[in-house]
A = this chain, B = another copy of it.
Amino acid sequence: MVIGADAAGMSAASQARKRRGPESLQIVAIDRGHHTSYSACGIPYFVGGVVSDVDALIARAPEVFRNELAIDVRLRHEVTEIDLGRRAVLVHDLEGGGEKWEPFDQLMVGTGAVPIRPPLPGVEAAGIFGVQILDDGEAIHRFLADASPRRAVVVGGGYIGLEMAEALVMRGLDVTLVDAGAQPMAATLDPDMGALVADGLREIGVHHRPGERVEGFGTSAGRVREVQTSAGSLAADIVVLGLGVRPNVALAEAAGIPLGPSGGIAVDRRMRTEIGGVWAGGDCVESVHRVSGRPVVVALGTHANKQGRVAGINLGGGYATFPGVVGTAISKICAVEVARTGLTEAEAAEAGFDHLAVVVASTTRAGYYPGAAPMRTKIVAERRSGRLLGAQVVGAEGAAKRIDALAVALWNQMTVEQMSGLDLAYAPPFSPVWDPVLIAVRKAAEAVEESMAACK
């Protein structure tokens, strides 16, 4: 029995099926939405018109699972209770009505995340949207077509907020971004790097209001008309909430499946919960952050796919482990590419690391090669050991995917000194002769050296 038919749930179901045929394992997957295995990360591109057909976001339709993998996918059904004692789930048919207890031997919980929706006055009005499941994307898309809103307010300056702000600009709306943080991506980037993203927002015409808190919504006839903030009020025909997500654990919690300290479902490396035969993966679980050593919840499709795969392999009788995360993330706001891995300065301090940081300006290609564009690379390193703790990149096309090399170095606990010898690819169309990553780690290594010399 699989609860949630998106990345984690369906990866688990597919892997389990690969190892155990329909004669030995019956698989039922239940989801309250209309879709299976879709790209939630693609929603802003569908809303913005970059992707014209919502079906393009669906990796595998339910028929594929049904016909090719003999997985009994039941959409528009919702599990409303898990009874661990009876080993059964209560399934509610959202369209046909009625509910029924279904038994299970093994349970996979892939309930995902829910968008944070503060209990502010008016938050339930029409025209106010969260962005989580594909149905949300379709609802926004329909609203844009039907209600022809002109003024949009996006609340929250994280990835989803920024990507939705861009999408709405592309659809011709006048967009204001209200952000409690001092800089965009305050949870993701240090302020100096976030400032570069703010520049990019201004360039595409987004009215950016940093340090401003939403306090409520003015409505008329049940529809949102204005957003009340700590600094005044803003007219709005549509509001998109991009306040982040939290793990959707209500069902698991009520059933007595233990959560971890970060609020996600606690799982081991094989994606087992603390209840025998109950597995979990995706946005609803917590993972180990390999740099801080702490449990964290990171809602990201790539982890959900990996975790689902691991759960499914184990559930099917194989052996696989999920090794944790290092906090890699990437985004693109029009021309500005942004990426990070590991810990920011704030996170490093909070995790108790004595750290230092350097930022270097460089270019994506050799300076003389056409298309060479500026990029900034920030390195956070532990002061004494010189161990890499994190990195951030902001720049033009070709900048952000460089974070992968840094993520792999971080994964292997390299020091910045060791990294300065790395054999990274060089040719003029791809990099200056000193790759920006190498320049940055070299500077960081020098800073570590100087900092230690100063201690003598």
* Chain A positions near chain B (C-beta within 8 angstroms): 7, 39, 41-42, 45, 50-51, 56-57, 59, 159, 290, 300-303, 305-306, 321-332, 337, 339, 341, 366-370, 398, 400-405, 407-409, 411-412, 414, 418, 421-431, 433-435, 437-438
B433 close to A323 (CB less than 8 A) = no
Q: Given A325-B423, A412-B412, 19 other A-B contacts at CB below 8 A?
A: A39-B366, A39-B433, A42-B366, A50-B370, A159-B427, A300-B426, A301-B426, A301-B433, A305-B434, A323-B421, A329-B427, A330-B426, A331-B427, A337-B430, A339-B425, A398-B398, A401-B430, A407-B423, A408-B412
B50 close to A433 (CB less than 8 A) = no
B341 close to A400 (CB less than 8 A) = no
Q: Which residue in B323, B330, B403 is a CB contact (below 8 Å) of A418?
A: B323
Q: Which residue in B331, B423, B428 is a CB contact (below 8 Å) of A39?
A: B428
Of all chain B residues, the one with the shortest Cβ separation from A398 is B401
**Shortest 5 CB-CB contacts between residues of A and residues of B:** A56-B368, A330-B425, A404-B405, A302-B426, A412-B412
Which residues does chain B contribute within 8 Å of A369, judged by CB atoms? Answer: 42, 45, 50-51
When all copies of this chain in the complex are counted, the total is: 2
Of all chain B residues, the one with the shortest Cβ separation from A53 is B368
Question: In the complex, what's the smallest C-beta–C-beta distance from A304 to chain B, in angstroms?
Answer: 9
Q: A402-B404, A430-B401 are in contact. Are A423 and B45 (CB under 8 A)?
A: no
Question: In the complex, what's the smallest C-beta–C-beta distance from A170 to chain B, in angstroms?
Answer: 12
Question: In the complex, what's the smallest C-beta–C-beta distance from A374 to chain B, in angstroms?
Answer: 17
A425 close to B400 (CB less than 8 A) = yes
Question: In the complex, what's the smallest C-beta–C-beta distance from A19 to chain B, in angstroms?
Answer: 13
Complex Cα gap A412–B410 (Å) = 11
Of all chain B residues, the one with the shortest Cβ separation from A52 is B368
Which residues does chain B contribute within 8 Å of A301, judged by CB atoms? Answer: 426, 433
A302 close to B407 (CB less than 8 A) = no
A-B contact pairs, 15 of them (CB 8 A): A39-B368, A39-B433, A41-B433, A42-B366, A42-B428, A324-B421, A326-B423, A330-B425, A330-B426, A332-B429, A332-B430, A341-B425, A401-B431, A404-B425, A409-B412
Complex Cα gap A98–B25 (Å) = 89
Which residues does chain B contribute within 8 Å of A302, judged by CB atoms? Answer: 423-424, 426, 433-435, 438
Complex Cα gap A214–B91 (Å) = 75
Which residues does chain B contribute within 8 Å of A41, judged by CB atoms? Answer: 366, 426-428, 433
Of all chain B residues, the one with the shortest Cβ separation from A331 is B427
Which residues does chain B contribute within 8 Å of A51, judged by CB atoms? Answer: 368-370
Complex Cα gap A367–B290 (Å) = 30
B407 close to A411 (CB less than 8 A) = no
Which residues does chain B contribute within 8 Å of A367, judged by CB atoms? Answer: 56
B402 close to A423 (CB less than 8 A) = no
Which residues does chain B contribute within 8 Å of A159, judged by CB atoms? Answer: 427
Which residues does chain B contribute within 8 Å of A428, judged by CB atoms? Answer: 39, 41-42, 45
Of all chain B residues, the one with the shortest Cβ separation from A289 is B423
Complex Cα gap A400–B405 (Å) = 13
Which residues does chain B contribute within 8 Å of A337, judged by CB atoms? Answer: 430
B57 close to A368 (CB less than 8 A) = yes
Q: A369-B51, A405-B407, A433-B7 are in contact. Are A306 and B426 (CB under 8 A)?
A: no
